[in-house]
Chains A and B, each alone.
Chain A
Amino acid sequence: MTSPDAVETGAGDAPPLLRMSGIVKHFGGVRALRGADLTVGAGEVHALLGENGAGKSTLMNVLSGVVRPDNGIIEIDGVSVDLSSPAAAQHAGVGMIHQELDLVPQASVMENLFLGREPRTRLGVLDRAAMREHATSLLREIGVDLAPTRSLSSLRVGEQQMVAIAKALSLDARILVMDEPTSALSDTEVERLFAMLPRLRARGVGVIFISHRMDEIAVIADRATVMRDGCDVGSFEVARTPPGEVIRLMVGQPIEQLFPDREPPGSTTRLRVHDLTVTPSTEGGRSEPQGVELTVCAGEVLGLAGLLGAGRTELLDALFGVAGQRMTGTVELDGEPVRLSDPRAAIAAGIGYVPEDRRASGLVMKESVGANIVLSALPALSRLGWRSRGNEREAVTSSVRDLQIKTATPDVAVGTLSGGNQQKVVFARHLLRQPRLLLLDEPTRGVDIGAKSEIYRLLARLAADGVAVIVASSEMPELLGVCDRIAVLRGGRIVSEFEAAQTSQEDLLAAASLEQDTTSAVEAG
């Protein structure tokens, strides 16, 4: 157990805002936390780092009263507190901004802000005027310009996040936990979020910021604590610590090279898309592809760049047949036209798809790792609809070995795996069908740095085997690192294409945000 470094809180001998020490938590026989410590001062932005599974989320769940620790002390302002429930934690001044926001999409901004404590008139009737007034001042306080009457579902993710933050502050949160707040944001939105942090500092709020993005942490965090295997392995001042040292602390060993060397792609055209257009569905809110022209060669990795809402996911969806009848234009695979009426047809044509949100769209969480891996391949592994356990076991075993999926046995529920290993399970499912074209949407979101590296290596291997790959990502360095070419999308159209080797983040950003967004995106790291 490491002892926490001496903490400067900027308030002389006053106790720190938050001190968690010796936190121990078992789940069944698993020790998730083995005596973790964390100290956060008032007005400090404190980054919490570590690979998935290191215990960050559990520690934060302890702090927010969701999980009761088996042992350990939590002090706020030097006073020991018992955070036995989320309500108790909220009362003690802990606010939590989850990745999945705890807001009601159908309700308006102000209704969300005052959910369960709506202002009333003397007659006990909802006082909408007071509500609007309070909401406006709350939002202004954190520098957000939003009409309180707008419905939450009409807001972009970043704006919704602001509402969640405003709500937490209105509940007098003094410790604000943000769990990967930037993972779903466009760069402009990230900038807005970061611009808000000084206001929180000024209020004396301690912000605990969980992120996988080193570049962000370097920009915003004052101090950072690294966790590994249920313990904290060190706290440090961010400004004084080189990034390599941080990664070494997180992984326990240095990663020599994040992006693998690639072989040059072949010259046979694998995918040719002509004038692909999708009529928007009645739901709206999506930037459907408009007149997309695209070719990808066998063995080539094509990147799709663009701001949030530029239509990257929509294009991949369309190429996988999700748009169905609403799609027009032609798609050829190896010179043969294919009809992409639904995902079944796409899979039959040799297309694989690792979707953006693996919990919602990729995995059947209650089912086992093995069942998830063979899901698409069952007809091929069976005879006349009767399953063959032998075939299935063989396929699962070889997938697990091949992709180095870290699981005790293939029979455990897939939900028990780490994010990176869950992602590999979705990969494995589509690789079992030996696709000619693989579509990947944010393949490394919520994946720790070790697994990221493995996924990049897998991509390189698949490309070397002749698979054509399309990767959509909001992380520019990732696209530059793994792709041969990068197409930039805006409003559902491809606006420019770059050779990855001859371009830079600035070029991509400029192309992505031209005309659409006048504020230049922040140059992080």
Chain B
Amino acid sequence: MTMSRRLPWRRARAGAVLTVAALLGTAACGTESDVPASAGGDATREKTECQGPDGDYLIGMSQANVAEPYREQMDDDIRAAAEDVEQFEVVFADAAQDNSKQVTDVENFLTQGIDLLIISPNEAAPLTGVVERAYNQGVPVIVLDRKIEGDSYTQFIGADNTEIGRAAGEYVATELLPDGGNVVEIKGLPGSTPAQERSTGFHEGIASNENIEVVAEGVGDWLRAKGQSQFEAILQAEQNIDVVYSHNDPMAEGAYLAAESAGRAGEIDFVGIDALPIPSGGIKAVQAGRLSATFVYPTGGAEAVETAKKILLECEDVEKEQLLETQLVTKENAAEVYKRNSTG
């Protein structure tokens, strides 16, 4: 089996025993389990007694990928909101964009005995199973931003991307280009739901103004650098561009940089989405005049803590779905929105 051949059987047996013991030992423990995990979708949901405001509560927040500023903001919003609730302690886990890791994160939360789960799933199908397990163990589940499959959750909180896209389209059609003009659309990652919805909504929004034409589309994959290079190419091809509509702020900023170096930034209005209240976010870009407008894509963090309060402290039933409103951010209200939404 290995280098030194002394007493090989003994060593190997020790190794095997150790390994098998590690595996089977756990299996043996498993049979004594007092809380059998329920498998499959037909398991019963256990009702737990609501302790109300007298209890102390551990809340697990499972984030898909903290590396995205939007999701970091979501965590920050939850942290800030929970700080005001003395009964709440929130623990965070970051799946770093890995479905398997997120499944394990939720399992570890359940091991820690959380009283409520907030999850922003990396992807729907892979996380559905473990969220179901939590829900069926009697843990209330708040799903943020991205849905899971089925209905084994307590409340979904999210914004309607189609609605945001429509708001952006209407803003372009009525405020920026009431007399019509040429629009360039910079899209997010192809195939991703937000990219599809933000595009669909936008086209619905501009439909009211027949004189608006989408003359070119670029694919920026949500990335600033990609938005820049895509728009550089479009600037070469199109001589008349009035508005750039970008599926998020970073790509809009990238497009702005491209226009600036081409000396055409002054003749174009840039519109983005997300409006994160952070120094590198869209609100600051609007304040600085690089973007004409951006639309708040709310994280739902504060709302999730509100819902948790309703469930745990007030022992109330909550709606299955809570849709969040967007808000237009322009130079006029930028400072005020930043102050209100910022947690830092």
Contact = CB atoms under 8 A, between A and B. Distances in A.
Interface of A: 366-368, 370-371, 409-413
A411 B5 contact: yes
B6 interface: yes
A36 to B, nearest CB: 29
7 contacts: A366-B3, A367-B3, A411-B4, A411-B5, A411-B6, A411-B8, A412-B6
Contacts of A367: 3, 5
Nearest to A411: B5
Nearest to A371: B5
A367 B2 CA distance: 8
Nearest to B7: A411
B11 to A, nearest CB: 11
A410 B3 contact: no
Interface string B1-45: 001111110000000000000000000000000000000000000
A367 to B, nearest CB: 7
Contacts of A410: 5
Contacts of A409: 6
A411 B8 CA distance: 9
A370 B7 CA distance: 13
Interface in B231-256: none
Nearest to B3: A366
A307 B296 CA distance: 86
Nearest to A369: B5
B12 to A, nearest CB: 12
B176 to A, nearest CB: 61
Interface of B: 3-8
Contacts of B8: 411
Given A371-B5, A411-B4, A413-B3, 16 more contacts: A366-B3, A367-B3, A367-B5, A368-B4, A368-B5, A370-B5, A409-B6, A410-B5, A411-B5, A411-B6, A411-B7, A411-B8, A412-B4, A412-B5, A412-B6, A413-B4
Contacts of B5: 367-368, 370-371, 410-412
A383 to B, nearest CB: 19
Contacts of B6: 409, 411-412
Contacts of B7: 411
B8 to A, nearest CB: 8
3 pairs of A and B residues whose beta carbons are closest in the complex:
A368-B5, A411-B5, A411-B6
A410 B4 CA distance: 10
A112 B3 CA distance: 36
A397 to B, nearest CB: 14
Contacts of A413: 3-4
Contacts of A412: 4-6
A413 B3 CA distance: 8
B250 to A, nearest CB: 45
A131 B66 CA distance: 57
Nearest to A409: B6
A372 to B, nearest CB: 10
A363 to B, nearest CB: 14
A367 B8 CA distance: 12
B87 to A, nearest CB: 61
A322 to B, nearest CB: 28
Nearest to A368: B5
Contacts of B3: 366-367, 413
A150 B5 CA distance: 46
Give the interface centre of B3, B5, B6, B7 by most chain A CB atoms within 10 Å.
B5
A170 B5 CA distance: 46
B254 to A, nearest CB: 43
Contacts of A370: 5
B195 to A, nearest CB: 53
B230 to A, nearest CB: 45
A370 B3 CA distance: 12
B164 to A, nearest CB: 61
Contacts of B4: 368, 411-413
A370 B5 CA distance: 8
A367 B1 CA distance: 10
B152 to A, nearest CB: 50
B344 to A, nearest CB: 49
A127 B307 CA distance: 75
A386 to B, nearest CB: 14
A368 B8 CA distance: 11
Contacts of A411: 4-8
Nearest to A366: B3
A16 to B, nearest CB: 43
Contacts of A368: 4-5
A310 to B, nearest CB: 39
A371 B4 CA distance: 10
B162 to A, nearest CB: 63
A370 B4 CA distance: 11
A165 B132 CA distance: 76
A450 to B, nearest CB: 26
A411 B3 CA distance: 10
A524 B191 CA distance: 84
A409 to B, nearest CB: 7
A413 B4 CA distance: 6
Nearest to B6: A411
A290 B334 CA distance: 89
